[in-house]
């Protein structure tokens, strides 16, 4: 089956602001699904609430637009009940790292085999631009009455500390790289996290597209901007945990944490950390329930002609006097 990108698009009118980084992300997801040839009915996009929450309506696969901050619980439940589905969860940085931060950490610990994208723009766009958890301390974006008084959370570092086994960063205006990162993330067995830098043209007038491309930082020699964004793969960074040893794992975790602190002058994109050795949740489940993957909750037969076919007699015997 050859899929084309158009198959993954819906007719729904897209009401994001002109120039919004979200457009690049939704295209990258459509391209990734097409390239992987995921049958449309075998994919489900779950979204949180906010501008990014509408993503699921623009994709012609199962689309579940959940509650603010709760995209991970909903999506994990679906993936666990039907492990055959390709599940991608998306949400804003306020959704995932503010109201939903507890779920973010817990999901990392679980390592369910799915992908989570955060549309990271430093503001709560749909409520008119309040500071979000990733906005740096002291910054005053357009609609803030006062500069941001909180420290920002580092999504990459938090993902690594929480146990995500694939941690990467993309940039909404580099759709090709983002598409490749999404494919790598989806193919990874375990929970993959993608921090997607997504300028909000309406409310974040500091971390703009121009800012990311270094328009404020012109090289006097060449008279060209010095882009802030660079690719980890271009500097010979190796994110992969190659051998099953705590030392190897520690080294890779540590280098990823160090890299995650780069900001302002140089901002790395690409894969920070990738551990294929750690077991995913479904693998752990399959060790406990041997036929879990071939007979998951979604596919179990539970009745015949309206009657129960589950045999609970042994459990009842135990209670009999």
To another protein, the closest distance from the beta carbon of 38 in angstroms equals 12
Write out the two tokens for 244: 């099953």
Binding mask 95-124 for another protein (x = CB under 8 A): -------xx-xx------------------
* Touching another protein, residues 59-98 (CB under 8 A): 60-67, 70, 72-82, 84-85
**SS3 category, 259:** helix
Query: Contact region for another protein (CB under 8 A) — 21-29, 145-153, 271-279, 298-306?
Result: 298-306
Does residue 288 belong to the site contacting another protein (CB under 8 A)?
yes
> Within 163-278, where are the H helices?
175-187, 209-212, 246-260
**SS3 category, 101:** helix
Task: Report the distance separating Cα 26 and Cα 10, nearest Å.
Answer: 11
**SS3 category, 301:** coil
Query: Contact region for another protein (CB under 8 A) — 212-220, 221-229, 230-238, 282-290?
Result: 282-290
Does residue 26 belong to the site contacting another protein (CB under 8 A)?
no
To another protein, the closest distance from the beta carbon of 296 in angstroms equals 8
Task: Report the distance separating Cα 268 and Cα 237, nearest Å.
Answer: 10
* Touching another protein, residues 128-167 (CB under 8 A): none
To another protein, the closest distance from the beta carbon of 246 in angstroms equals 26
Binding mask 219-258 for another protein (x = CB under 8 A): ----------------------------------------
Q: Is 62 exposed, middle or buried (0-12, 13-18, 19+ CB in 10 A)?
A: middle
Phi-psi region for residue 53, left (φ > 0), alpha (ψ -120 to 50) or beta?
alpha
Contact pick of 41, 149, 220, 264 for another protein (by CB under 8 A) = 41
């Amino acid at each position: 089956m050859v899929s084309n990108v158009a198959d993954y698009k819906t007719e729904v009118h897209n009401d994001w602001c002109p120039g919004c980084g979200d457009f690049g992300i939704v295209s990258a997801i459509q391209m990734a699904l097409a390239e992987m040839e995921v049958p449309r009915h075998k994919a489900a996009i779950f979204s949180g609430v906010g501008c990014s929450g509408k993503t699921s309506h623009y994709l012609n696969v199962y689309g579940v637009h959940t509650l603010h901050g709760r995209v991970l619980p909903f999506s994990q439940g679906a993936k666990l009940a039907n492990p055959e589905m390709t599940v991608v969860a998306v949400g804003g940085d306020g959704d995932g790292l503010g109201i939903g931060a507890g779920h973010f950490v817990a999901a990392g610990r679980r390592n369910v085999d799915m992908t989570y994208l955060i549309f990271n723009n430093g503001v709560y766009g749909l409520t008119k631009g309040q500071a979000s958890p990733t906005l740096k301390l002291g910054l005053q974006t357009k609609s803030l009455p006062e500069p941001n008084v909180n420290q920002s959370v580092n999504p990459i570092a938090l993902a690594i500390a929480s146990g995500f086994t694939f941690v990467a960063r993309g940039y909404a205006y580099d759709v090709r790289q983002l598409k490749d990162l999404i494919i790598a993330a989806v193919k990874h067995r375990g929970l993959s996290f993608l921090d997607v830098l997504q300028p909000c043209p309406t409310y974040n007038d500091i971390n703009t597209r121009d800012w990311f491309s270094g328009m404020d930082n012109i090289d006097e020699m060449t008279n060209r901007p010095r882009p802030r964004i660079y690719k980890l793969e271009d500097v010979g960074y190796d994110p992969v945990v190659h051998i099953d040893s705590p030392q190897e794992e520690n080294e890779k975790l540590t280098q990823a944490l160090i890299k995650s602190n780069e900001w302002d002058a140089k901002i790395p994109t690409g894969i920070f950390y990738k551990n294929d050795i750690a077991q995913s949740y479904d693998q752990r489940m399959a060790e406990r329930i041997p036929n879990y993957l071939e007979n998951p909750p979604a596919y179990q037969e539970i009745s015949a002609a309206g009657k129960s076919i589950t045999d609970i007699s042994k459990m009842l015997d135990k209670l009999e006097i």
